[in-house]
Structure 1
Amino acid sequence: MSDIKIIPLGGVRENGKNMYIVEVDAEIFVLDCGLMYPESELLGIDVVIPDFSYLEANKERVTGVFLTHGHADAIGALPYFLQKFDVPVFGTELTIALAKLAVEENGQVKNFTDFHVIDATTTVGFENADVRFFRTTHTIPDSVGIAIGTKDGNVVYTGDFKFDHSAIPMYQTDLGKITDLGKSKKGVLALLSDSSNAEHAGDTASELKIAEEVLEIFRNTNGRIIAACVASNICRVQQVLDAAHKTHRKVAITGKDLEKVFATALKLNKIILPSDDLIIPVKNIAKYDDEEIVILETGSYGEPIKSLQKMAQGKHRQVNIKEGDLVYITTTPSTAFETTVAKTEDMIYRAGGTVRLINESLSVSGHGSEDDLKLMINLLKPKFFIPIQGEYRMLAAHAKLANEVGIAHKDIFMPGKGDVIEYKAGRMRMAGQVDAGNTMIDGIGIGDIGNIVLRDRKILSEDGIFVAVVTISRKKGTIISGPEITSKGFVYVKESEELIKETTAIVKEVVEENLGRKEFEWSRLKQEIRDSLSRYLFDKTRRRPVILPIIMEGSSRKKG
């Protein structure tokens, strides 16, 4: 029998940042390596990636990274991972092409070349397990699930999936292979299954119906159409292109993310152009009537909403919204983003445009609803079930569905990040934790932003900064100049003369007291200034700005 451990390093009790490790005896298999876009309270943070510290401590045991699809929540952290690990990366043709794009953009690992293209027939053999793949349906072609075959059965990771029986061949699920896994001699030991849409009880609209909806919108619009789309949602991009062709419109593409993804998918025949003259440069849109134009837009990191805001404010570098434009948001916003979308809609209407959301009349998702999730469980018949990919309530909803189709509560595990689920001697159990926090990326900084820095940024955004500058002579025990008080984002100095006068006196008193002591300590002086000012300012304003004492030492001698 094998000693098997399953450890989520991300993707549980959160949206995105999917990364799961499966240990089979001495070998570690890494499943996906994704990032997460920050919530609003992570001020200034660009993206969040998993904590690799456990893997770093076991670096020699890592066999490789196995990717399910080409979205950022599955491949986005790969450039940061490869800065620390020199291991092979496995994925389907499009997934590897998009992973290479992400890696090439990162100067630290742009020369990494150990990529391996697999398909649904590939088996990758290792000493203690073999890795196989099966096709799944998602909003991007070449999506797969992963099965790690062990002596005790298969550990199956679905990746993002839904069942769409009208999907075109490029997107079809391999139902036969999934069924075979469930019926295999050793069966499925554990199933790690996508929970992102587990709370949705109804049917998810098929991509055929969505395509019909997109076409109907295009046919009933007289002005320009600005279609906002996540860059890596290849399926939606194709539907926009098809609808534009059928309504005799030209398509102008904006956004660097979309241009790169589009060019890659086109080269691999994952996007099919209905006509050779369909795409036009953005600079040429003025040559056509409004009813002949579709503008396909995404923004930074594939997020279109911020770009729409710039368009509505007249600040976009290429296209701005004008009277008569229809903004068609073809992505379903997450719950956390609904307020932002509502504000964006208001801005668009103020600019003279109108808004349609693709989910107004259809339930649109790339993730399986309740019936899809039950079907996956019934096909695979796992001994143990682990809901993943989603916030806690989604995992709980998925666990309930698993119980409804016959999996006992004792055989369902709902881990948090870093929880170790161990299978040993025929028994599955929770077996402790490993380090698995968030690593925050800010500019080129990786992990150098922690809770203290974020706290200071939050305070700065709410209560501002209060600076006190003093120049002293320790030798003579006197103040040479100052204190000078500066405030940013706290109070308007000219209208707060009494407050500034009092704080100047407080700083002067603290400095003189410290200069009069036998033992002078810079750190003690600064801390006492902070404490004294903090108490006074909170008493007078009920606000707590960041207080920054700047103490300089100078010469008290006058120049002759």
Structure 2
Amino acid sequence: MNLLESQIKIMPLGGVRENGKNMYAVEVDDEIFILDCGLMYPENELLGIDVVIPDFTYLIENADRIAGIFLTHGHADAIGALPYFLSQKQVPVYGSELTIALAKLNVNGYAGSRKFKNFHTVTKNSRLKFKHAQVSFFKTTHSIPDSLGISIKTSAGQIVYTGDFKFDQAADPTYQTDFARLAQIGQQGVLALISDSANAESPYEMASERDISAYILDTFKYHEGRIIVASVASNIARIQQVIDAAYESKRRVVLTGRDLEKIVRTAMRLNRLTLPDPDIIVPVKQLKTLAPEETVILETGRMGEPIKALQRMATSRHRLVKIKAGDLVFITTTPSHAMETTVAKTRDMIYRAGGEVKAIGDDIHASGHANKTDLQLMLNLTRPKYVIPVQGEYRLLAAHADIAHETGIPYENIFITSKGDVLRYEDQQMRLANQIEVGNTMIDGIGVGDIGNIVLRDRKILSEDGIFIAVVTINRKKRTIVSKPQITTRGFVYVKTSRDLMNESAEIVTQKVQANLDNKEFDWSHLKQDIREGLSGFLFEQTKRRPVILPVIMEVNQNRHHRN
């Protein structure tokens, strides 16, 4: 370690002013330490997008300086973007046993990263020495076992990243926080705390996992029909509670979805998930032979998100399960604010199908993230000079800033950042320096980053105002229109009742095409632009809508068609 004080930069590449997509780069002199590499499930305005990952441009450009990627836990918001990063640059990946096992599932499931093998398992006792820093870990409590916080020890002090955490004094030993280690980190001097803010607005005391277990068991015991449990696939704590409650209430568990089965098998192999009876989980094919009062269906949906799967069940589009009278749908995940409307619609669909709905959040305050009291305890244990709230929308980061201020940290030492902000520590002062350009990378099907704002804007227009296609055939040599314009439209107006609109539109196309043919300096792009502008103005005037206008020009030339 240098005697001179290190030059330090902290850069959020995701995870700030949004839910999920955690990724933070810490530079110590010429080494880069990447903390988490997560994805985010899209919200409603991202039409058709499967997932969103961070923009890796800065890291790829500086890949030779990366010491490694350090993972806090095995949820998608911490490990989901790994396959996409590792398919571009291969750098060492460090994490706990279960986190690495789940990361391998992700990485091996993606063609571009399948050959990657540079994984390293760490424990709460691991100390990793690098050129300018030492990386160590501490046990935290979250809804998945083997969660770790990360400390990067530099000559200027420690940079501590909590990852997703909460405090639960009655936690099972597998999930317990190492309070002594946290106090020790605080005594050694923490320069900056990068801390989870996802539940910062909650003033309520969180229910302990023991209380939640009892609540799930009560639900199972007092319902006589089938129970369909909706959970996030990687919430191992919740899955353990569901399996235990099924055993106590003499039920069997059917797993639906490949994601869930892989995660459950992995957790069982590492003894992070235990079965009270080896026959408690039964194959899907036995679902029809189980009596309703013996059945628990555990549903997580594609990519581990269960709400869309429940909608398919309620509308008879699910491949295995159809909700019917007597079914209880038990939602054991707490949806984000952005999903509240979707959840309300889903509840309505379930009731229409004859089922009942019970959500854990209706009766109990359950979360895998720290509330106000927990956040203040973390601050008092670590005693940082600077605080960087992360993992949450702006209002959550701001709430966390107020919470930190209440513990005595001045507001000028609390940084609410945006993606791409660079916090630089030099001359014993942390300040907001320059910014690097960081966007979002959208993933749609097999396309990575090939969809940007222009495509999304077009999708939005298509979804709202439809498409208007005008096809016309011309003979450029003779400067004539060979066949009059054919108008086709989808999602704009009902053609049969809009004959006049179609005829007038065809007339406008004819005028614009003929005017361009008569012009000595004929230009294809100018012709198309003329048609778009003429139709756009006319259609908006008539309908107050702006569809996507697509002119298709066919050219006749010596018995051959040229299409433009």
TM normalised by structure 1 equals: 0.98
**1:429-458: per-residue Cα shift (whole Å, max 9, x none)?**
010111111111111111111111111000
* CA distance in structure 2 between the partners assigned to 1:286 and 1:443 by the alignment: 33
Structure 2 partner of 1:174: 178
Deviation at 1:288, TM superposition (A): 2.2
Deviation at 1:291, TM superposition (A): 0.4
Question: Which consecutive unaligned segments of at least 5 residues does structure 1 have?
Answer: none
Structure 2 partner of 1:461: 463
Structure 2 partner of 1:436: 438
* CA distance in structure 2 between the partners assigned to 1:27 and 1:253 by the alignment: 44
* CA distance in structure 1 between the partners assigned to 2:532 and 2:361 by the alignment: 52
2:108 pairs with one of 101, 104, 110: 104
Give yes or no for the alignment of 1:62 onto 2:66.
yes
1:280 and 1:555, CA in 2 relative to 1: closer, same or farther beyond 3 A? same
Listed as ranges, the matches of 1:271-286 within 5 Å are 271-286=273-288
**1:246-272: per-residue Cα shift (whole Å, max 9, x none)?**
010011110121111111111111110
Give the residue type in structure 2 aligned to 1:353: G
* CA distance in structure 2 between the partners assigned to 1:553 and 1:157 by the alignment: 63
Structure 1 partner of 2:83: 79
* Contact 1:473–1:556 (CA under 8 A) maintained in structure 2: no
Aligned residues: 557
**1:490-523: per-residue Cα shift (whole Å, max 9, x none)?**
1111111101110111101111110111111000
Give yes or no for the alignment of 1:92 onto 2:70.
no
1:407 and 1:520, CA in 2 relative to 1: closer, same or farther beyond 3 A? same
* CA distance in structure 2 between the partners assigned to 1:182 and 1:2 by the alignment: 20
* CA distance in structure 2 between the partners assigned to 1:297 and 1:56 by the alignment: 37
**1:456-498: per-residue Cα shift (whole Å, max 9, x none)?**
0000000000000011111111111231100000111111110
* Contact 1:466–1:547 (CA under 8 A) maintained in structure 2: yes
1:310 pairs with one of 297, 308, 312: 312
Q: Percent identity?
A: 61
2:43 pairs with one of 30, 39, 44: 39
Structure 2 partner of 1:552: 554
Structure 2 partner of 1:423: 425
1:479 pairs with one of 478, 481, 504: 481
Structure 2 partner of 1:447: 449
Deviation at 1:124, TM superposition (A): 1.1
* Contact 1:332–1:365 (CA under 8 A) maintained in structure 2: yes
Structure 1 partner of 2:149: 145
2:407 pairs with one of 405, 408, 421: 405
Structure 2 partner of 1:349: 351
Give yes or no for the alignment of 1:247 onto 2:249.
yes
Give yes or no for the alignment of 1:188 onto 2:176.
no
* CA distance in structure 1 between the partners assigned to 2:106 and 2:167 by the alignment: 29
Secondary structure of 2:34 counterpart: strand
Structure 2 partner of 1:414: 416
* CA distance in structure 2 between the partners assigned to 1:389 and 1:152 by the alignment: 25
Structure 2 partner of 1:390: 392
* CA distance in structure 2 between the partners assigned to 1:288 and 1:512 by the alignment: 72
Give the residue type in structure 1 aligned to 2:67: T
Secondary structure of 2:286 counterpart: helix
Deviation at 1:557, TM superposition (A): 5.8
**1:147-196: per-residue Cα shift (whole Å, max 9, x none)?**
00000110000000000011111101011111100012xx1000000000
Structure 2 partner of 1:373: 375
Give the residue type in structure 2 aligned to 1:520: F
1:7 pairs with one of 11, 23, 32: 11
* Contact 1:16–1:36 (CA under 8 A) maintained in structure 2: yes
Structure 1 partner of 2:138: 134
Deviation at 1:556, TM superposition (A): 6.5
Structure 2 partner of 1:494: 496
**1:315-361: per-residue Cα shift (whole Å, max 9, x none)?**
11011111100000000111111111111111111111100001111
Deviation at 1:402, TM superposition (A): 0.6
1:518 pairs with one of 500, 520, 526: 520
* CA distance in structure 1 between the partners assigned to 2:416 and 2:335 by the alignment: 25
Give the residue type in structure 2 aligned to 1:384: Y
Deviation at 1:198, TM superposition (A): 0.5
* CA distance in structure 2 between the partners assigned to 1:347 and 1:433 by the alignment: 46
* CA distance in structure 1 between the partners assigned to 2:289 and 2:527 by the alignment: 68
1:296 pairs with one of 295, 298, 303: 298
* CA distance in structure 1 between the partners assigned to 2:108 and 2:473 by the alignment: 50
* CA distance in structure 1 between the partners assigned to 2:559 and 2:148 by the alignment: 76
Deviation at 1:427, TM superposition (A): 0.8
RMSD of Structure 2 on Structure 1 (CA): 1.1
Give yes or no for the alignment of 1:125 onto 2:129.
yes
Structure 2 partner of 1:199: 201
Deviation at 1:285, TM superposition (A): 2.0
* CA distance in structure 1 between the partners assigned to 2:319 and 2:265 by the alignment: 21
* CA distance in structure 1 between the partners assigned to 2:162 and 2:295 by the alignment: 39
Secondary structure of 2:461 counterpart: helix
1:53 pairs with one of 46, 51, 57: 57
* CA distance in structure 2 between the partners assigned to 1:448 and 1:278 by the alignment: 45
TM normalised by structure 2 equals: 0.98
Secondary structure of 1:383 counterpart: strand
* CA distance in structure 1 between the partners assigned to 2:164 and 2:542 by the alignment: 54
Give yes or no for the alignment of 1:262 onto 2:264.
yes
Give the residue type in structure 2 aligned to 1:448: D
Give the residue type in structure 1 aligned to 2:377: L
Give the residue type in structure 1 aligned to 2:305: E
Moved over 2 A (4+): 555-558
* CA distance in structure 2 between the partners assigned to 1:294 and 1:448 by the alignment: 41
Give the residue type in structure 1 aligned to 2:523: E
* CA distance in structure 2 between the partners assigned to 1:287 and 1:411 by the alignment: 62
* CA distance in structure 1 between the partners assigned to 2:333 and 2:498 by the alignment: 49
**1:15-74: per-residue Cα shift (whole Å, max 9, x none)?**
000000000000000000000111111101111111111112212111110000000000
* CA distance in structure 2 between the partners assigned to 1:347 and 1:491 by the alignment: 29
* CA distance in structure 2 between the partners assigned to 1:40 and 1:256 by the alignment: 25
* CA distance in structure 2 between the partners assigned to 1:143 and 1:482 by the alignment: 68
* Contact 1:480–1:556 (CA under 8 A) maintained in structure 2: no
Give the residue type in structure 1 aligned to 2:412: K
Secondary structure of 1:531 counterpart: helix
